[in-house]
A and B are shown apart, each in its own frame.
Chain A
Amino acid sequence: MASEAYTKYRFYLEQRPTMLAVFSVLAVVLFLGVTVLSRAHQAQRQAIGERWFNRGTADLNGKRFDAAVTDMRAALLYSPDEYSYQLNLAEALIGEGHTGQASAYLINLWEREPENGIVNLELARITAQRGETDNAIRYYHNAVYAAWPSGQEGMRRNARFELIELLQRNDLKAQAQSELIALAENAGPDPAQQERIGDLFLRAEDYEHALGAYNAALKSNRHHAAALAGAGYAAFELGRYQLAQHYLQSAISANPNDPDSAERLKTAQLVLHLDPFRRQIPAAERNRIVIEAFAAAARRLRSCAGPDVKASAPASVPSLSDEWARLEPQITAVGLRRNPDLADTAMDLVFRIERETSTVCGTPTGADLALLLISRMHEGS
């Protein structure tokens, strides 16, 4: 009976169903075999990729960008989706100056991780270089608020620094100012950083904050030449010439090769010297300064009313000249002693002459500049 049944179904038992079962087993076995093979293949590729990556990273760190690009490309052959490989290749390409190729990689990476700080920062730099200011600002903002690895927190600050510089370059003062204030609030005591903040505040013409930043920088190093010079500059611009003189003198002693500070110190000293309205000054001394300033204004008026300038000079210049000529006989030591109000009249004329001539003949130097600054200092009083 059984043999009959077997004979009856032999064809099916021996052929198709059995073969299908064999195929199923074979498929499973082959699948397992290929899995082992695949793992070995993958491990080998990964190892080769890592080898090229390490070599590329060393080249990148050593600024050998050409070699780094080749190495990173090789690494990417084995792990084309490896984030760090693509990022390093992009950085190497940037180093080599191939920003177009780099941006293709960076955009790819940005699409994968829009919150990555380095990618945003590099994209910001490239777009800024291309003059795409809006995109650059967007990427810089992303970089500022991005996730940065714990060891690279400084990069966030760098991103903000670069953002501020970009905003300043593009004359977006309000945005730059707000970013700068935020940066200053979160900045650490690092003197180099404070000095950089001070420089940016100076560029933003926020001298008060600049002075604060330079002072912060000087806390840890009182002889920091650049910070002293910056503080001197800020104090000078704020009209605190005494303070400016102090900082600038220190700056020059810390760095004697600083002609800007030397020039500024000279001016500050002249301002302090030629200001007849400074407190606790003897009357004789004040009168002497008035006479000196009056004479300087005359020289300035003459040089400005010379044949080259005369044509373009406004009508007020000759009238100032007349005024000066009318007042000149009275501006003597005796005259000033007799009539103390004359000093004010004389200095008023001096200030007007300096202001008027500075618009016609450009910013003066030396005593004239000092007088001009003194005039600005007393403008409101």
Chain B
Amino acid sequence: MEPQSKAEDMLTENGNGHSTSAWIQEHSPRAVWRYVFREDRLFLILSVFIGVFSGLAVVCFRFAIDWSRLYLLGTGAVLTPVRMVLAPTLAGLVIAVLVIHFFPTARGSGVNQTKAALYIFNGNIPIRTAIGKFITSALAIGSGHSLGPEDPSLQIGACIASAVGRKMRLQRDRMRLIAPVGAAAGLAAAFNAPISAVLFVIEEVIGRWTAGILGSVVLSAVSSVVVMRWFLGSESLFRIPAVELKRPTELIAYAALGVVGGLASVVFASGIAWLRPVCKALPRWSQYFQPAIAGLLIGIIAVLGAPQVMGAGYEYIDQAMHGQFTWEFLAILAGLKIVATLLSFVSGTPGGMFAPTLFIGAMLGAAVGGAEHVLFPHLTGSPGTYALVGMGVLFAGFLRAPMTSVFMVLEVSGNYSIIVPVILANTVAYLISRGLQPTAIFDLLTRQDGLELPSMEEQREEDILRVEDAMQPVDGPVLDAEKTLDQALQQLDRSEMERVLVLTPSGWGSVSRQELLTMAREGKGATTLGALLPVAPVPFLHPDHPLETALRYVDRWPLVPVVSRADFRHLEGVVTQRYVLERYREFGEG
């Protein structure tokens, strides 16, 4: 693109260069000040602040969840039945009152709300949302509702970022992007995994890779993780067992896990898709009791023998990874966790889906691994390996974030050798889930809420029109700037084209038949075109450019050359506004 930008610069400066007064103007204190605090640089500095603030908020959020758990469920490893039933039920009542009367925007997981801030509210999220999310989620998770702290952390980060952006009076386009920057920071701190957080925000919230935002997202994620580790240490959420893949044939076992995980994801997502609208359609007064009823049912599940389903459940993921449950019990736990999470989530209790997804994945993975070991004792993968892969499988199948799912397992395990089973199992699960449940869970929730946010999955799979789709072959002469005006006119006589391209040593230009004839009448026939013409530089395109790039040029330049990337002198075709619009019309008609 270098010749192109050069051409544009030449146009703006009109070949005259800088004047002295312009230089002085550019180096005035105000200009220097403006240069130092240029919007893009300021955005990077703000990203660090957002990361620090989000990290601090997430640390406090973790403390709040912990205190809530200590006071509501007790300090022991074995919970008393009374607390198991009463804590989530009573907390559910309080949460319902808080959500209905004080923090209505605190409902749900937080991912879609952040997307809505980006696409609908120009990056604005009221700080009240963060406060509400903080209090209600801490209460819900601490009291044993089957939800996790990651998505609320993501939303809290986004709220903080939005507040920072508002205070700094950022431009609208920057303001829109600031929420995802905070979201990445919040998620990274909650998950202690900056790479996964960055990927998730890019994959699920922003939906595209752009250099402008990537730097900020990375900076904020890293800053928040540094802050979080400062206070809470750098230990992973669970102890990672030794992972190894001894025989490639064992990949079949992991593929089987992918199948089971894919089906479980569909069941989980379908449950939410069916039950959430049912709960929302119930009379308004029932909303006061829905979280409490969900809490009561979860408490009953816990009392009946599965207290592991309460809360985020990271300690049980750890135990599953170290073979402390039988495979039958692990399978039961996975099923009960789906039920418990369904109840908590559809009742409108604020809290995240990440931790339950990882829990279900880990239990399912370890269960499948255990069952496979019973059937095929020669398999060498430990339950921990299967649990780790299982987490990625559910992440890919249920949350439909395939890239994040792979990197999350790598980042959490810190072991590269697990990558092949993870990619295989995740892909299988993703394809099954995609096939059986065409709408991803976040898109489904958005649509249920009556919003039309862009679907990142659909965007990823969208056909992209490229310049080569609209490009037409050159059916007229291409003039050489070394040739004389007379030679050029002779060439032009054989064509009916009104405007032709001129190849100059530094790029491409174009000239109209009329301009050439005028110069010929002035008696300049023996002079070369290069010396004669105020040849206007024309930007060129490459065949693989997105067609929307061509749109930037075709209204200003009637004929835009499409050249080879290997040699800009090699013309592959041309695009005009007409060709581009025709191509878009055909595409729109399907």
Q: Which residues of A contact B (CB under 8 A)?
A: 8-9, 12, 15-17, 19-20, 23-24, 26-27, 30-31, 34-35, 37-38, 41, 44-45, 48, 51-52, 70-71, 73-74, 76-78, 80-81, 100-101, 104, 108
Q: Is the CB of A70 within 8 A of B78?
A: yes
Q: Which 5 residue pairs across A and B have the least CB separation, nearest first?
A: A74-B77, A73-B77, A38-B231, A74-B76, A104-B322
Q: Is the CB of A19 within 8 A of B37?
A: no
Q: Is the CB of B56 within 8 A of A52?
A: no
Q: Is the CB of B315 within 8 A of A77?
A: yes
Answer whether A23 and B315 are a contact pair too, CB < 8 Å, given A34-B56, A38-B59.
no
Question: For B34, what are the chain A residues with a Cβ–Cβ distance below 8 Å?
Answer: 12
Among residues of B, the one whose C-beta sits closest to the C-beta of A101 is: B324
Instruction: Please report the C-alpha to C-alpha distance between residue A27 and residue B51 in the assembled complex, in whole angstroms.
Output: 10
Q: Is the CB of B169 within 8 A of A15?
A: yes
Instruction: Please report the C-alpha to C-alpha distance between residue A29 and residue B37 in the assembled complex, in whole angstroms.
Output: 24
Among residues of A, the one whose C-beta sits closest to the C-beta of B232 is: A38
Known: A12-B33, A19-B168. 10 other contacts (CB 8 A): A31-B52, A31-B56, A34-B59, A34-B60, A38-B232, A48-B70, A70-B77, A73-B77, A101-B324, A104-B324
Question: For B52, what are the chain A residues with a Cβ–Cβ distance below 8 Å?
Answer: 27, 31
Q: Is the CB of B78 within 8 A of A41?
A: no
Q: Is the CB of A52 within 8 A of B76?
A: yes
Question: For A52, what are the chain B residues with a Cβ–Cβ distance below 8 Å?
Answer: 75-77
Q: Is the CB of A23 within 8 A of B63?
A: no
Q: Is the CB of B56 within 8 A of A30?
A: yes
Is B42 engaged at the interface, CB distance under 8 Å to the other chain?
yes
What are 21 A-B contacts with C-beta separation under 8 Å? A9-B33, A12-B33, A12-B37, A16-B169, A23-B49, A31-B56, A34-B56, A34-B59, A34-B231, A37-B60, A37-B63, A38-B59, A41-B66, A44-B70, A70-B76, A70-B78, A71-B77, A78-B75, A81-B235, A101-B322, A104-B323
Answer whether A20 and B45 are a contact pair too, CB < 8 Å, given A37-B60, A70-B76.
yes
Q: Is the CB of A74 within 8 A of B75?
A: yes
Question: For A30, what are the chain B residues with a Cβ–Cβ distance below 8 Å?
Answer: 53, 56
Instruction: Please report the C-alpha to C-alpha distance between residue A76 and residue B33 in the assembled complex, in whole angstroms.
Output: 54
Question: For B169, what are the chain A residues with a Cβ–Cβ distance below 8 Å?
Answer: 15-16
Question: Which of A8, A30, A70, A101 has the most chain B CB within a 10 Å cutoff?
Answer: A30
Within 8 A of A (CB), among B47-75: 49, 52-53, 56, 59-60, 63, 66-67, 70, 75
Within 8 A of A (CB), among B417-473: none
Q: Is the CB of B30 within 8 A of A9?
A: yes
How far, in Å, is B528 (CB) from chain A's closest CB? 52
Q: Is the CB of A41 within 8 A of B63?
A: yes
Instruction: Please report the C-alpha to C-alpha distance between residue A8 and residue B164 in the assembled complex, in whole angstroms.
Output: 25
Question: For A45, what are the chain B residues with a Cβ–Cβ distance below 8 Å?
Answer: 66
Is B524 engaged at the interface, CB distance under 8 Å to the other chain?
no
Instruction: Please report the C-alpha to C-alpha distance between residue A20 and residue B66 in the assembled complex, in whole angstroms.
Output: 33
Question: For A12, what are the chain B residues with a Cβ–Cβ distance below 8 Å?
Answer: 33-34, 37
Is B101 engaged at the interface, CB distance under 8 Å to the other chain?
no
Q: Is the CB of B231 within 8 A of A17?
A: no
Is B174 engaged at the interface, CB distance under 8 Å to the other chain?
no
Instruction: Please report the C-alpha to C-alpha distance between residue A30 and residue B53 in the assembled complex, in whole angstroms.
Output: 8
Question: For A80, what are the chain B residues with a Cβ–Cβ distance below 8 Å?
Answer: 235
Question: For B78, what are the chain A residues with a Cβ–Cβ distance below 8 Å?
Answer: 70, 74
Is B239 engaged at the interface, CB distance under 8 Å to the other chain?
yes
Instruction: Please report the C-alpha to C-alpha distance between residue A78 and residue B70 in the assembled complex, in whole angstroms.
Output: 11
Within 8 A of A (CB), among B162-194: 164, 167-169
Partner of A15, one of B75, B77, B168: B168
Instruction: Please report the C-alpha to C-alpha distance between residue A52 and residue B77 in the assembled complex, in whole angstroms.
Output: 10
Among residues of A, the one whose C-beta sits closest to the C-beta of B238 is: A80
Instruction: Please report the C-alpha to C-alpha distance between residue A366 and residue B42 in the assembled complex, in whole angstroms.
Output: 105
